Amino acid sequence: MDSTLDIKAVTENKVNALQRFWNGINWDDIIATLIEKTIYLIFLILFFVFLNRIGKKLIDKTYGNYSKKQAFSESRLKTLHTLINNAFQYTLFFFFIYSLLTVVGVPVGSLLAGAGIAGVAIGLGAQGFMNDIITGFFIILEQQMDVGDYIRLTALNIEGTVTAVGLRTTQMKALDGTVHFIPNRNITTISNLSRSNMQVSIDVRIMPDEGYDKITAIIEKVNLELKEKYSESIQTGPTIFGMVDLGNGNFAVRTTMYVLNGKQAPIREEFLAQYVKKLSEAHFTIPNTPITIK
């Protein structure tokens, strides 16, 4: 009987304690705080939505005006536009989360301090990735190369045609068809062979004792004929540089010219073929023995 009374007394004490706690809650303050926080949150969301729309309109307008004034490739402009948009979105999102946590009452400063060590670890792990992004941004911004350019990366011993320029990697296609995917942080020196006129140097081997003046006269005649044929591609020359010593008693007449980028190979082949043909028809000897340099 005594134990039953003890259990009843304990139960009544717990109920009374819960009732006193419930009655002690200041519901007016809680409701007022909820209403205040809700109003702050609604205002905060509307404010950041407004900032997002205004920011995107300004970026799009600036992008449109800039694309009309600058001679940038379409791929570069799209990449820059996307990059700026993403940077704006991430920055806005960071400040929104910070403001949201502050309104709710979360101690953001303490969270940031606690996440400092983890942030350092993540930063070290993402260092290479960030280097790729930063290098890619400046490659695009400074117009170091475009899709379709033929470039040479001396440090990597790679050359070929650029097929894609991204913020993290650059894609190149070599002459043999190999496609290279290169992290931008590995790109140090870019030799762009597609930005200006290229020099073409053509050597045709001769026997000087057969008559140097007559040989150069034939070469000059070929130059005049082919210059007319390739008038749109040849920018300067062709000019007979003169006789050059190839070593070990081998001599050649060298012709130089500057042509539009990408036209070097066909023009070199055409000129050399015509030199050999005309000199052979005139019964001049074209040495074909291997050149041995000691």
Note the pLDDT tens digit of each residue in 134-188: 888 777 777 788 777 788 888 888 888 888 777 778 888 888 888 999 888 888 8
Contact 254, 206 (CB under 8 A): no
Residue 78 in 3-state DSSP? helix
**Residues 78-87: tens digit of each pLDDT:** 666 766 777 7
More confident residue, 177 or 32: 177
Listed in order, strand segments (DSSP E) in the chain are 150-153, 158-165, 169-173, 179-183, 190-192, 198-206, 234-247, 250-259
Give yes or no for residue 121 having a pLDDT over 60: no
Please list, in sequence order, all residues whose beta carbon lies within 8 angstroms of the beta carbon of residue 183, skipping any fewer than 6 positions away. Answer: 128, 132, 168, 169
pLDDT of residue 11: 61
pLDDT above 70: residue 205: yes
**Cβ pair 158, 174 in contact under 8 A:** yes
Domains located in the chain, CATH noted:
28-114 (1.10.287.1260), 145-192 (2.30.30.60), 198-281 (3.30.70.100)
Distance between CA 255 and CA 257 in Å, rounded?
Answer: 7
**pLDDT tens, position by position, 231-248:** 777 878 788 888 887 777
Interior/surface letters 201-238, b for 16+ CB within 10 angstroms, e for the rest: ebbbbbeeeeeeeebbebbeebbeebeeebeebbeebb
Amino acid letter for position 146 = D
Q: Which amino acid is at 57?
A: K
pLDDT tens, position by position, 251-291: 888 888 888 776 777 888 888 888 888 888 888 877 776 55
